[in-house]
Structure 1
Amino acid sequence: MMRTLFLVLCIGLQLCVHAQELDFPDFRSKKDMFSKMQEKDIRADLATFTMTGIDEGAGKEPLQSIPVTDYGKDFITFSGNDVTVTLRSGPFLADKHKLAYSEEHLIKIDNKGYFGNYGSVPKTTVSAVTLTIAGDTIAIPAAAYTDFCNPVFTYNDAGNGKLKPYGGVYFSGDGKKIYIYLLKKEEGGSYEITWVISNKTYLRRVVDYGFLK
């Protein structure tokens, strides 16, 4: 599914796997990038569906995934195999945060960089990532998602006009890991996030930005 999305998005766009050059300071973290991953098994899995892993994923079999079962302007839900994932967005309330600027460009929110239309004040943020496995709720810390701004969960397929997701939920071959994926396409350089769940515990996130511009 994401490979098809990749081909659609690349029409008329330049693929760049490095962060775009800015004329103001960039405080977005690079420590969670795909290229810096040391976990070989997780890296191999992510290569099958992420944009930045596409070269390493060539020829690999796709991972098992679950379908979208509900969506709206501010949420999307995937369900199947006793697993339910819901991603939600909410308004960004600037007066509730500490904002740092370089001239007219926003460079930090609450003392750190953020993702999504970097340099501008966000309109929305990812407000919740909810995961249940066989009825058990798996805690995903707010710090793992609140710095992702202006998310868009669906798009209209140019070929058939059908609504499709900007993301997915995937399973490792042994079934022990769940990968929750979200892509945000932006003209100035897109971002993508994968939240990694291992043995019903949040493990880490993988974040890349500055491509598909």
Structure 2
Amino acid sequence: MRWIFCLLFFASALSTIAQDDMPDYRSKKDSYTKMAEKDIKGDLATFTMAGIDESVGKTPLVRIAATNYGNNFMTFEGNNIHVEIKSSPFFPTQHKMDYADEEKKYLVKIDKKAYFGNYGSVPRTQVASITVVVDKDTVAIPPTAYFDLYNPQFTYSQGGSQKSYNGVYLSPDKRNIYIYMLSRDANDSYEVTWVIQDKKYLRRVVDFGFLK
């Protein structure tokens, strides 16, 4: 999995396409480089794009692969953990859309918030819900953990079969659960890791703009 990420990273560097002057209002406060939790950051380095430079010599974490998926959902099961991510259609008429230009060429904010997922264009779908159950205990995931995440990509086609970059990872001490999703679009990309600690939602880590 890591070598695939490396190839994607270098391919994107060679194929970066400059867009017209489009302002980027997306915040980096939740990014990998801004993390203060060194232990969690070290774990994320083993599977995230943003952590590639710090992944050398690190032991891969236990990974729970997807057990089911469809056009609008993906499910992970294992180690007494159940995770399901669902998406829903995005309806522009139900939202306030802010564009960077009078011609409405570049969309930069949805409901007065910058967003992730093909930034600059109108999204097709949005993350609708995240369900997490650990040892039969439901972990509440607040809407603020995914309200600005659009065009989630659950699988991609390769060699006639469906594959996924996404996964659920366990920290060595089993206290932390990391729910990882990588979404790619024609103009942009983003990755998000939702961190669960001791059966409670702790935070998310979001990085963007490294793949085309």
The answer to whether the superposition gives a TM-score over 0.5 is yes
8 Å CA contact retained: 1:190, 1:209: yes
Partner of 1:94 in structure 2? 92
Moved over 4 A (4+): none
RMSD (Å) for aligned C-alpha atoms: 1.8
Q: Does 1:13 find its partner at 2:12? A: yes
Instruction: Decide whether the 8 Å contact of 1:15 with 1:212 is kept in 2.
Output: no
- When normalised by structure 2's length, the TM-score is 0.91
Deviations 1:97-150 (CA, angstroms, capped at 9, x unpaired): 221111112111111100011111111001111111111111001111121111
- For structure 2, the 5+ residue unaligned runs are none
Pair 1:59-2:60 in alignment: no
After TM superposition, give the deviation of residue 21 of structure 1 in Å: 6.8
SS in 1 for 2:191: strand
Q: Which residue of 1 aligns with 2:73?
A: 75
**Cα distance in structure 2, aligned partners of 1:56 and 1:21:** 30
Determine the structure 1 residue equivalent to 2:130: 129
Q: Which residue of 2 aligns with 1:118?
A: 119
Matched to 1:44, the amino acid is G
Shift, 1:12, TM fit = 4.0
CA distance in 2, matches of 1:12, 1:194: 23
Cα pair distance change 1:54/1:7, threshold 3 Å: closer
Is residue 102 of structure 2 the alignment partner of residue 109 of structure 1?
Answer: no
Whole-angstrom CA distance in 2 between matches of 1:157 and 1:174? 34
The answer to whether the 8 A contact 1:28-1:114 is kept is: yes
Amino acid at match of 2:178: Y
Mean alpha-carbon deviation: is it higher for 148-157 or for 5-14?
5-14
Partner of 1:39: 37
Q: Which amino acid aligns with 1:99?
A: M
Structure 1 position 22, deviation (Å): 5.8
2:147 aligns with 146
> What secondary structure does 2:13 align onto?
coil
Assess if the C-alpha contact under 8 Å between 1:15 and 1:211 holds in 2: no
CA contact (8 A) 2:119 2:188 kept: no
- Structure 1 gaps, min length 5: none
State whether structure 2 residue 188 is matched by structure 1 residue 189: yes
Give the conservation status (yes or no) of the 8 Å contact 2:61–2:171.
yes
User: Who is 1:163 aligned against?
Assistant: 162
- Amino acid in structure 2 at the alignment position of 1:137: T
CA distance in structure 1 between the partners assigned to 2:56 and 2:19 by the alignment: 28
Cα pair distance change 1:135/1:120, threshold 3 Å: same
Secondary structure at 2:36 match in 1:
coil
Q: Which residue pairs with 1:211 in the alignment?
A: 210
Name the structure, 1 or 2, with higher relative contact order (CA <8 Å, separation 6+): 1
Q: 1:53, CA displacement in angstroms?
A: 0.2
1:185, 1:72 → 2: CA distance?
17
What is the aligned length?
207
